[in-house]
């Protein structure tokens, strides 16, 4: 099976309001899948459907090639956005409890917890109450309880909120390591820089509908605006005056590091043509195609979609 999880035309209505409208996603096995979208777009509803906290009105969810079943929750690990622990309970006892709810035996859960507590160097917390721990410490415990039963599918909803930068890095490392070990990861966030860093696939949901789906590189290429960034040495004026008018100069910047020109590549023109043209006027240090950031794509897509909506209504 190529896909770990597929949803097809999932519709979910709440009284008088549609939370998901024919949402179809395909999460490739072994990928880190970014589920993006503004607040209230329907991401959490979709995640809750995958976790069987709620059920879709229509549409299907296929997990590992078969329709989603009750027992599949043992193969899914979920770190919700609204997360926490029993404050009055001891750390170890609580981790054990959550692990056993995920179907692990007492002995197995203890063994695995020992491994993770050693790995995160938090063994000494075992008998401390959760309320005595800092927020970041609690998040570590929470992360462990999410991955302890070695789920094949992991769902992280805004995993980095509440973490300090050091723990964010630790977490990113762990997420990548889990992928190495073969887990598939769904990653829901607003933080676009972490999407660029971690995700291979994305799906953008807005207003209950899928707007954009695919591999991150494809998506970015699709939104490529054919803008080239050139680092150069020499007089900027030479480029301004000398460059063939086919190529539009958007901007020339100078800073301590060097000089950079942004040039739009017209339709039909190749990179080589531009380079050949530039070489007559200046010395080139670098040549890069400027791909739009996920942040820009996110804003662009969501705004144009809501623009359409306002026109419709």
Partner 1 sequence: MSKISLIVQREYLTRVRKKSFIIMSILGPLLFAALLVLPALLANLEDKEIKQIAVIDESMLLTSYNSGKAVSTIPETEYLKFIALEDVELESLQENFASTGYYAVLYIPANVITSERSLLYSDKQPSLDVSSHISNAMEEQLENMKLAAHNIENLDQILADVATDVKVSSIKWTRDGEAKKSSTGLVMGIGYASGLLIYMFIFLYGSMVMRGVIEEKTSRIVEVIVSSVRPFQLMMGKIIGVGLVGLTQFLIWVVFTGILVVGASTVFGTTMQQQAPMTQVSGNELFSQDENVQGAMEDFSEGEAFMADIFGAFESIEPGKIIIAFLFFFLFGYMLYSSLFAVVGSAVDNETETQQFMLPITLPLILGIILMANVMQNPDGPLAFWFSIFPLTSPVLMMVRMPFEVPLWEILLSGGLLILTIFGTVWMAGKIYRTGILMYGKKVTYKELWKWLKYKN
* Distance separating alpha carbons of residues 4 and 152, to the nearest angstrom: 9
- The site for partner 1, by CB under 8 A, has a size of 29
Q: Does 2 bind partner 1 (CB under 8 A)?
A: no
Q: How far is the CB of 120 from partner 1 (least distance, A)?
A: 18
* Distance separating alpha carbons of residues 96 and 98, to the nearest angstrom: 6
Q: Does 160 bind partner 1 (CB under 8 A)?
A: no
Q: Which of 17, 88, 181, 312 binds partner 1 (CB under 8 A)?
A: 88
Write down the residue that tokens 């972490």 correspond to.
194
Give the tokens for residue 133.
């721990």
- Helix, strand and coil in the chain, % to nearest 5: 40, 30, 30
Q: Does 89 bind partner 1 (CB under 8 A)?
A: yes
Positions in 24-53 near partner 1 (CB under 8 A): 48, 51-53
Q: Does 55 bind partner 1 (CB under 8 A)?
A: yes
Rounded-to-10 torsion of CA 108, 110, 116, 117:
180
Residue 189: φ, ψ to 5°: -160, 165
Q: Does 139 bind partner 1 (CB under 8 A)?
A: no
Which range binds partner 1 by CB under 8 A, 84-92, 182-190, 285-293, 301-309? 84-92
Q: How far is the CB of 70 from partner 1 (least distance, A)?
A: 9
Name the residue nearer to partner 1 (CB basis): 93 or 196.
Answer: 93
Enumerate the H helices of the chain as residue ranges: 43-50, 91-101, 106-119, 135-147, 165-180, 192-198, 216-222, 236-242, 271-279, 294-312
Q: How far is the CB of 103 from partner 1 (least distance, A)?
A: 8
Q: Which of 46, 61, 68, 73 binds partner 1 (CB under 8 A)?
A: 73
Q: Does 58 bind partner 1 (CB under 8 A)?
A: no
* Distance separating alpha carbons of residues 5 and 252, to the nearest angstrom: 46
Q: Which of 34, 35, 83, 259 binds partner 1 (CB under 8 A)?
A: 83
Which range binds partner 1 by CB under 8 A, 74-82, 113-121, 204-212, 297-305? 74-82
Name the residue nearer to partner 1 (CB basis): 52 or 229.
Answer: 52
| Spacing of C-alpha 136 from chain mean position | 21
Which of 205, 198, 188, 203 has the alpha carbon at shortest distance from 81? 188
Q: Are 172 and 197 in contact (CB under 8 A)?
A: yes
Which range binds partner 1 by CB under 8 A, 2-10, 77-85, 190-198, 305-313? 77-85
Q: Does 140 bind partner 1 (CB under 8 A)?
A: no
Name the residue nearer to partner 1 (CB basis): 80 or 159.
Answer: 80
Q: Does 97 bind partner 1 (CB under 8 A)?
A: yes
Full strand arrangement of the beta sheet holding 227-233: 248-254, 259-264, 227-233, 283-290
Positions in 267-286 near partner 1 (CB under 8 A): none
Query: Can you give the binding site for partner 1, defined by CB under 8 A?
Result: 14-15, 48, 51-55, 57, 73, 76, 78-80, 82-89, 97-98, 100-102, 142, 145
């Amino acid at each position: 099976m190529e896909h770990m999880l597929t949803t097809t035309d999932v519709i979910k209505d709440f009284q008088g309001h549609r939370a998901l409208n024919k949402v179809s996603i395909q999460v490739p096995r072994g990928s880190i899948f970014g589920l993006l979208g503004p607040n209230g777009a329907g991401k959490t509803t979709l995640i809750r459907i995958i976790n069987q906290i709620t059920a879709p009105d229509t549409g299907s969810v296929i997990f590992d090639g078969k329709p989603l079943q009750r027992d599949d929750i043992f193969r899914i690990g979920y770190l919700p956005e609204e997360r926490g622990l029993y404050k009055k309970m001891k750390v170890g006892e609580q981790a054990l409890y959550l692990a056993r709810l995920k179907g692990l035996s007492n002995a197995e859960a203890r063994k695995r917890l020992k491994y993770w507590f050693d790995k995160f160097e938090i063994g000494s917390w075992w008998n401390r109450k959760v309320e005595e721990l800092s927020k970041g410490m609690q998040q570590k415990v929470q992360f462990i309880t999410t991955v302890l039963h070695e789920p094949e599918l992991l769902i992280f909803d805004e995993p980095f909120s509440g973490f300090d930068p050091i723990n964010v890095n630790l977490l990113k490392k762990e997420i990548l390591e889990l992928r190495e070990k073969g887990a598939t990861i769904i990653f829901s966030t607003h933080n676009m820089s972490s999407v660029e860093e971690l995700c291979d696939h994305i799906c953008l949901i807005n207003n209950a509908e899928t707007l954009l789906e695919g591999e991150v590189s494809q998506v970015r290429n699709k939104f490529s605006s054919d803008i080239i960034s050139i680092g150069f040495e020499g007089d900027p004026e030479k480029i301004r005056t000398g460059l063939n008018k086919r190529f539009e100069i958007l901007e020339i910047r100078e800073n301590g590091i060097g000089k950079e020109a942004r040039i739009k590549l017209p339709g039909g023109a190749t990179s080589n043509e531009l380079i050949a043209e530039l070489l007559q006027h200046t010395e080139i240090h670098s040549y890069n195609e400027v791909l739009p950031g996920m942040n820009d794509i996110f804003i662009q897509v969501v705004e144009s979609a809501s623009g359409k909506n306002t026109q419709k209504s």
